[in-house]
Amino acid sequence: MLNYILSFIILISIVVFIHEYGHYYFARRYGVGVTAFSIGFGKELFGYTDKNGTRWKFSAIPFGGYVKFFGDHNIFSDFNREELRKKYTEEEQKKLLAFKPLYQRNLIAFGGPLANFILAFVIFVGVFMFVGKDMTPASISEVQKESPAELYGLKQNDILLNIDGNKVESLLDVSKFIMLSTDDFIEFVVLRNSQEYTLKVKPNLVESVDQFGNPLEKRMVGIVISPNNNNINHVKLGPIEAIYYSVKEILFISQKTLEIVWGYLQKLWGQGYGDLRQLGGPIKIAQISGDFAKLGLLPFIMIISYISISLGLFNLFPIPLLDGGHILINTIEGIRGKEFNRKTLENTFRIGIGVIAMLMIFTIFNDVNNFLLRYQN
């Protein structure tokens, strides 16, 4: 249990620090005062105040963090310009986020998610350059009897070239592309006897568990994959290739994450794809971080990159209180040429609090349920 708690705290501290530092960097760049930089919420455990007056601290509840700007009356950075004009002098107003140009306010809001993507990019580039990337070509060594693969025409010794429009460049790509597919049919492009064939396969949905015992719904087509001609190829990439594959990986994960989220939303109305039980919160993140920490430093570093991308994407959703919500409100105010009144903003933020609270309740319920199922088996 201690392993899970420590792994969770380390992972969350890293991705949250990077996220909040993105906000902090752009705020300082554009002259916005920063009074607090906190990892976690609630009571301060320890910290220090730098020469610029920023209080850097760790707080008791390690489920996030925040940067508090000069003049903020809460950690959500909502403001009333009329009140601020009365309260602060013209010189002090130069340090207030509320009076910065639209593009600067939006860049400060976008800085957090941007920092998360940069963290993932740096990790991917480093791993691909100094550890290497699997570039082993994949072929089908076995097609299981009466499986979707057999039914829809995949054959033994087919070389997998493409799955759902994604080029297959390694053995790992095959399971990744199948697992993250969201359509009813998965499109395979294979090389057979020097000719390319395109086949669409409808996978079976199978109740299963992952390697750590967590329940999940798998998409199964019924094939066994092996290196083509037993040619295992693990390559350390040069800088240009490493950058290319890192950007490609981030875009792929982002695209598939959004597709899955859209599937979950449709599922709420009885349509779409996705197992809502897989939505998780802090307990699931703790389980994942602890499980990957057991596998070694490299898997743990890689899961940090994936969690960082997820955090960046989540914060870009146009929900009030999140960075995407701030960007949306700022942009609408810029288009209208006037700010929203206080009551409208308060109601908007209440909606945001409600949405996030419902999401947290749902994910924590899933966390507890899956946790109990895991340790009952």
Report, as residue numbers or ranges, the catalytic residues. Answer: 20
User: For residues 257, 259, 260 and 264, what is the CA-based torsion angle, rounded to 10 degrees?
Assistant: 130
Tokens describing residue 303: 């899961």
- Residue 293 tokens read as 């920490």
Specify the pairing of strand 204-209 against strand 215-220: antiparallel
How far is residue 284's CA from residue 97's CA, in Å, rounded to a whole number?
Answer: 35
Lookup result for tokens 């990337």: 133
Sort 254 into a burial class: Cβ within 10 Å, 0-12 / 13-18 / 19+. Answer: middle
The per-residue DSSP string of 20-76 comes to: HHHHHHHHHHTT--EEEEEEEEEEEEEEEE-TTS-EEEEEEEEEEEEEEETT-SSTT
Give me the residue label for tokens 């009885």.
Answer: 270
Q: 10 Å Cβ neighbour count for 186?
A: 21
CA-based angle 217:316:365, to the nearest 5?
40
Task: Output b/e per residue, 319-341; b: 16+ Cβ within 10 A.
Answer: bbbbbbbbbbbbeeeeeeeebbe
CA end-to-end span of the chain: 17
In eight-state DSSP terms, residue 213 is S
